[in-house]
Amino acid sequence: MNTQQMERAIIATIVESALEQGYGVRHNDGEENTVTVYPINMDSHYLAATGGIKNDTQEMVAKILAEIHAADEEYLIIFDQANKKKIGSVYLFYGNDGHDVICDHTDNEIMTSILQNANALADTYCLADNM
């Protein structure tokens, strides 16, 4: 698996986890927000705004993945769509070993939960890299 494939898999895991836990994800390329995705269990305001369209998780992950690697460093912003409150962010830095794409992140309980599977995947890639 090459570096970009590892980075994409880790980022997909972050987005999937956030969505499954009911949080929205916004991609920022360092200059502007490029795409925002919402979890499946949408509130009535979002459903009304989108004509009642519920998106599946993999479709939402694909929308984020279509925007990554536009710059050397980017951000994922995790938010609670019900009250428009930012939960935290993940600073992504590309081009090193792949498993270390998560350069920094907000440290709180929700973010720890969201990043748990992505960190485990990164650890697996790191161990495989060192064998």
Q: Which domain holds residue 61?
A: 3-129
Residue 14's nearest CA partner among 125, 127, 80, 110 is 110
SS3 124: helix
Q: How many CB atoms lie within 10 A of CB 92?
A: 25
Residue 100's nearest CA partner among 90, 114, 87, 86 is 90
Report the helix count and the strand count for the chain, using DSSP H and E: 4, 5
Q: How many CB atoms lie within 10 A of CB 43?
A: 12
- Give the per-residue pLDDT at 75: 97
> In tens digits, what is the pLDDT along the chain, a chain of 131 residues?
899 999 999 999 999 999 989 899 999 999 999 999 988 655 555 555 555 445 578 888 999 999 999 999 999 999 998 888 999 999 999 988 889 999 999 999 999 999 999 999 999 988 876 66
Domain count, the chain: 1
